[in-house]
Amino acid sequence: MSAEQLSLSASAEFRGRWLEQVRLDPKVPHVGFRVAYMIAHKADHQGMISQRLIEIAGHAGVQIESLGNALERLANLRYIAFERGGRREPTVIQMQRVVSMPRKRQLVPPIVTAPA
């Protein structure tokens, strides 16, 4: 496997884990996940996207106000960092590496045997 293929593979693996973590986070609303999915889909191999808000909203299928709220929420939860562009300038969004969430332990009831 070439270095470029390895980089793309790692990038795809990172995107998948990142998106799964966003999906499982109860603090991320439905619109936030739609925006996160679009970011993961459109981001380059470094996890960055640079587009105007109107374009991002169109790709995600949300209104600009909803997009702004979703970006703020994702940033507050540290899934992304973003710098809002001016009226005709692109907004730059960077996917952030996230620490894996602890898995919930599945409690197994003790085995109780009947006295013989």
User: Which pLDDT does position 75 carry in this prediction?
Assistant: 96
* Residue 101 to residue 24: CA distance in whole angstroms: 10
Q: Are 91 and 57 in contact (CB under 8 A)?
A: no
Q: Which domains does the chain possess? A: 3-95 (1.10.10.10)
pTM: 0.75
Q: How far is CA 34 from the centre of its chain?
A: 9
User: Which pLDDT does position 103 carry in this prediction?
Assistant: 52
What are the helix (H) ranges across 1-116? 3-24, 30-42, 53-60, 64-76
pLDDT digits (tens, 9 = 90+) for 4-52: 544 544 588 888 999 999 999 999 999 999 999 999 999 998 889 999 9
| Residue 90 pLDDT greater than 90, yes or no | yes
Greater pLDDT, 107 or 84: 84
